[in-house]
A and B are shown apart, each in its own frame.
Chain A
């Protein structure tokens, strides 16, 4: 049972345009969400996160939006740059027990930025 879903395995975007990566979740106990970026032959690196008490978090070119009622979050990258080409993983956790909860990851979306 895939509790975190990224329905687009791949996405191609022109350099300078907006990239929008989507993620859906089914577990209503999830209250903390993260995006990780992974280059080939490297481990994933943390990109941005959002708590369920917020609906938007911004960090430079990266913005994450959370729609709790739809159990949906999205990552916006503006403007997209060639270095953004990577696999992006959405992840979620339920912190109701006070922390130390494991992350559940989605299947990933491969983003390709076309120069």
Chain B
């Protein structure tokens, strides 16, 4: 059974803290993605990666960075968390475009 695992389901951080969100997939997928979901805005793409050590900006990359040192792992980093980064973060992977497999999400609250 395919699996995308996000390390933390719920996090509470303070403004200015550095935040790491980890994502691991066990399907040997080349592509990995980070989205955020906000009410009324749907899912918006933050960053994606088509290969190890490779990254591309999505639609809303400001305030975020990513790391992909291994094929199965894709990390999202908030260098200095702000309250407007309070959101549900969703990691996904795929072999080809479409049919993304999503993790269960990480709900981040920044106080």
Contacts and interface: CB of A to CB of B under 8 A. Distances in A.
B64 to A, nearest CB: 15
B104 A32 contact: no
Nearest to A107: B42
B89 to A, nearest CB: 11
Interface in A83-112: 89, 91, 93, 95, 99-108
Interface residues of B, number: 26
Nearest to A93: B97
B97 A46 contact: no
Contacts of B44: 105
B42 A108 contact: yes
Given A42-B104, A42-B105, A43-B105, A105 B43 contact: yes
Given A42-B104, A43-B103, A43-B105, A103 B98 contact: yes
A53 interface: no
Interface of A: 4, 6, 9, 32, 34, 36, 41-46, 49, 89, 91, 93, 95, 99-108
